Every structure is written in C-alpha cells, then in structure tokens.
Amino acid sequence: MNNDHVKVWNACVQVIKDNLPLQAFKTWFEPILPVRLENVALTIQVPSHFFYEWLEENYIDLLRKVIRKELGPEGRLEYSIVMENNATKSTPYTVKLPALNKKSLKNQPVNMPLNIAENQIRNPFIIPGLKKVNVESNLNPAYAFENFVEGDCNRLARASGYAVANKPGGTAFNPLLIYGGVGLGKTHLAHSIGIAIKNQFPNKTVLYVGSEKFAHQFIDSIKNNTTADFIHFYQMIDVLIMDDVQFFAGKEKTQDVFFHIFNHLHQNGKQIILTSDKPPVEMQGMEQRLLSRFKWGLSADLTTPDLETRIAILEKKMYGNGIELPKEVVEYLAYSINTNVREMEGALTSLLAQASMNKKNISLDLARQMVDKFVKNTAREVSIEYIQKVVSDYFELPIEMLKSKTRKREVVQARQISMYFSKRMTKSSLANIGAHCGGKDHATVLHACRTVTNLSETDKQFRGYLEDLEKKLTLQ
C-alpha cells in the first residue's frame, strides 16, 4: 500500500519515543520523514549528512531493534540525505543493518556527491571538538514570572509575554518585541517567557541568545566555512529569544543571515521574542525588510516604574533573600533611585554588603551614605516624590492630602514647602512640579516659592522648619 512506509515508521517512532528523553526525540527524530518501503528496506529522509552520522553514532542500536521488530530480521534502513544547498533532490545512502557498527561503517565505502559538505553541523554554543550537541536554553531560572513585579509600567508587555508563554507561535504576538530603557526588565521578562514555555512544553527547543553573541558566532562560522551549519542550527529552534537586537545596526551580513533565519522560523510557526532599547521606528542602521518583520507582531514597551512598583520590587527582592529592612530605608531607596530598576536593586545589595562588612545596623543614614557613594550620580538629585515624602512625614500628613485640592492652612503650607524644595533641589520644570502636586500650573508653583521665601525671612519658626527639612533632604 502507498502508506505502508508511513505506518511502519510511525510504529518505530512510538517505540523510539518511549526510550528517549523528550528533548532528544524532538531534536533527532521529529525532523525525519519516511520516504518509501520496498520489500524489507525502509527509506527515511534526514535533513543533512551530519544528521545521518549523528543517528549512526548515537542511536543505531535502537534503530536496529525497531526496524527488525517491524520488518523482521532481514529488515534494512536506507537514508535519503537532503542536499546541504537546499536543492530539491536528495542523495540516498543504503546501509544494511547487520553492518551497522562503528568498525564496519569506517571500512565501508559510501558514495558521496561532491557538493555535500564534509563538515558536521556544529552547535555554535559548544566548543569545537566536543561530541555532545545538546541545545541548552541559556535561561536564568531566577528570572521567572514569579519574580517579575507587575505595574502600570510593564502591564502590556507582561500580559502579552504570558499569552505567548501559554501558546508559543500560536498568537498574533509573533514576533513579540519588548523595548525600553536600560535596567527596566526587558531581559528578565524575555527569560520569564522562555522559562514558562519550557515548563509547559518540555519538548520544545527554547534558546536565549544575545545579539552580540549571535554576531560573533556568525563571524566564526564564516571563518570556519560552516555558515550552512550555523543557519541550520538556528532553524531547528522552536522558540528563539534574541536580546538587544539594536546591536545588529550597521552589521549588514549579520542582519541578512538573521533575516533568513527569522523568515524560516516565522513561516514554520515558531515563536520569536526580541528585545531592544527602542521601538522599530527609531532603530537606525537596520535594513527596512528586517524592521518591517519586527512590526509583524506586537511591540510592547517597558517604562520607568512608578513609586509603588519600585517599593514592591525592593520588597520582592528582600523577601526572596530572606531579609528585612526598616520601612524608611526601603522608601528612601525607592524615592531616590527612580529611573533604573537594576541600579535600585544594586543599591540594595550594596547596602546589605556595607552593613555586613562594617558590622553596622542598616539605618537611614547608612542608606544615604551608600547611595551617594555607590550609585554614581543617580541619587545626587533627589526626586520630587522623595521631597514630598519627607515633607509629609515631617508635618505628619498623608502624602495623598499633600496632592489633594484641600485648602487647609497646614496642608497648603506643606504643599508650598514641597514645591519650594522641588524647585531648588531638582531640575524639573515648574509645570512638572505642579503636576506632582495635584495638577497645579506653573504660576501656582512660582507663587508658592515666593511665599516660602518671604516667610523664611520673617517667621523664625517657619525658618526652623525649612532648616530641619533641608538637613533631612541633603545627602550626607
């Protein structure tokens, strides 16, 4: 019958699947196609000469058993090896099972066409010369979804990433491009998606790679004349996570090879996840055909986290490390470092290290010293939010009241003082300061600053308030 070769191979595959890890089966047996069955000779098609050699080197005993089980003791296996140049023709290799052992194979002549590459397909992540060709995902388990704090700044990106993790290659988010500034969590989220896919679909091949690493591998493949192997390796991936694609800018040949890999994966329903520091429309030095493909799916941005999200991130990190800090210290870090999550987490780590090495208690003063010393210039300019927090605490008022429209005298005074220090200690515009204080306009901020200046010159008690607050706000 016409489908006998399919039935025989499917029966073999069932036995093979039960005897191999899912990842090995996925990599080395799913790409095989049954071609024909003539008498007791089954012909299977494999993607390359390297694939053929790998099967003989590692799985020949298993193949011998399943073929004999289905076709009897005289059963034979023939390989139809696809040309390395992607030609439609293929070149068959006939191998009789009784001769399938390493010694006899080396002594057995095999007719090979001249245009089939002699080199093996090399995994670019494995040092040349090593036989093992496992595809490691390169995912960091610490970057799971459970450790990713959600906020308004990342809600769209996280939700779309979660959708991709549940149905890789099966959503409209392909490719999924996550973009944002330094230290906002792009890499963390990309790893989270990959980890979730590996957990739910263990048979899928997931690979995380940085764009610079990819470019260096491509250059090595050109030097070693293994470009076909390099491309074939990446075309076997089910979920490709490419970090910092903006580094492809200006690298025309690297962009070209990634373009072809991208097309192959996308056309075969594989999931592609990209990260970048900017959206496609702002990427310079990139080919238009590549940029157009980046726009096929969804571009989700990560913005600077708000105060509540920053505090939640610090608390999450503390909980994960089994440590506890005074609330005022956590709030100080969150208020002071307001643009970069990575730097904020680094400040927390430095603070813990300083306290441990110097055997000091973690206090607000120590936090101030550490931030000034270890976080470069990030915290030298205090934020409007931090000023509002210090002023609110000083006058024992809820910070929400400071931002409200109430005209109570004590609230108005505290609000004006926060505007005064915001103008003095930050580079924010008057309009931005007003926006942080309940939507006031720039004229209101100017009036507040003049009022505070006048009161400081005529009211001794008020001047004392300002002196106390300035000490609290000044980093030592």
Q: What is the pLDDT of residues 75-92, one digit of tens each?
A: 888 888 775 444 334 445
Q: What is the pLDDT of residues 16-65, one digit of tens each?
A: 888 887 777 877 888 899 988 888 888 888 877 767 777 887 788 888 88
- Of 286, 302, 318, the last residue of a domain is 302
Query: Across 189-285, where does the E strand assignment appear?
Result: 206-210, 239-243, 271-276
Query: Residue 155 domain-assigned?
Result: yes
The answer on 322 and 341 residing in a single domain is yes
What is the domain extent for residue 44?
Answer: 4-107
- Of 271, 302, 333, the last residue of a domain is 302
The answer on 277 and 196 residing in a single domain is yes
Which pLDDT does position 416 carry in this prediction? Answer: 92
Query: Over pLDDT 70: what percentage of the chain?
Result: 83
Q: What is the pLDDT of residues 196-241, one digit of tens each?
A: 999 999 889 999 999 999 999 999 888 888 888 899 899 889 999 9
Pick the more confident residue, 121 or 173: 173
The answer on 363 and 245 residing in a single domain is no
Which pLDDT does position 105 carry in this prediction? Answer: 35
Which pLDDT does position 126 carry in this prediction? Answer: 58
Pick the more confident residue, 97 or 13: 13
CATH number of residue 27's parent domain:
3.30.300.180
pLDDT band at 4 (very low <50, low <70, confident <90, very high): confident
The answer on 421 and 322 residing in a single domain is no
Which pLDDT does position 417 carry in this prediction? Answer: 93
Query: Residue 83 domain-assigned?
Result: yes
Query: Residue 115 domain-assigned?
Result: no
Q: What Å distances lie between residue 64 and 24, 74, 102, 285, 440, CA to CA?
A: 18, 11, 13, 53, 81
CB atoms < 10 A from the CB of 136, how many? 11
Q: What is the pLDDT of residues 416-465, one digit of tens each?
A: 999 998 888 887 788 888 888 888 888 899 899 999 998 888 888 888 88
Q: Is 459 helix (H, G, I), strand (E, B) or coil?
A: coil
Q: What is the pLDDT of residues 153-162, one digit of tens each?
A: 888 899 999 9
Query: Residue 194 domain-assigned?
Result: yes
Query: Residue 127 domain-assigned?
Result: no
The answer on 49 and 22 residing in a single domain is yes
Distance CA 237, CA 233 (A): 7
The answer on 153 and 209 residing in a single domain is yes
Q: Is 160 helix (H, G, I), strand (E, B) or coil?
A: helix
Contacts of 344 (CB under 8 A, 6+ apart): 310, 313, 314, 333, 334, 337
Which pLDDT does position 120 carry in this prediction? Answer: 52
Query: Over pLDDT 90: what percentage of the chain?
Result: 19
Domain count, the chain: 4
The count of C-alpha atoms lying within 13 angstroms of the C-alpha of 267, restricted to the half-sphere facing its C-beta, is: 7
The answer on 223 and 180 residing in a single domain is yes
- Of 302, 321, 338, the last residue of a domain is 302
pLDDT averaged over every residue in the chain: 80
